[in-house]
Amino acid sequence: MTPDSLPQDLGEFLQSAVASGRYQSEADVICEGLRLLREREIRIQLLRDELKPALEELDRGEGKPLDADEVKAEGRKRLEAADKGR
């Protein structure tokens, strides 16, 4: 795919990114987009890896129901700790 074969809206975005002076060339814009896509893919895989043990537990029937009040209390506790850390 070349910049000329992009859908119109993406081609215009590419041109405006170069015209803004933030990028020196269309290739620079495309490389940045690919870097961001790669980062996103890595983050998604890391999340999947973190979730896998919990999902396997659920599949084995080892899960337990969440208590909404406990979840809220834990969230409030974390927010308080974060506020104190600022």
Q: What is the pLDDT of residues 13-71, one digit of tens each?
A: 999 999 999 999 999 999 999 999 999 999 999 999 999 999 999 999 998 888 999 99
CB-based contacts of 54: which residues, under 8 Å, 6+ apart? 63
pTM of the model: 0.63
Residues 6+ apart with CB under 8 A from 14: 3, 6, 26, 29, 30
Q: What is the pLDDT of residue 4?
A: 80
**CB burial readout 52-80, b (16+ within 10 A) else e:** eeeeeeeeeeeeeeeeeeeeeeeeeeeee
In the chain, the number of structural domains is: 1
- Host domain of residue 64: 3-84
Tokens in use for 69?
């009040």
Is it the case that residue 1 has pLDDT exceeding 70? no
pLDDT of amino acid 15? 95
Question: What's residue 68's pLDDT?
Answer: 94
Confidence check: pLDDT of 75 > 80: yes
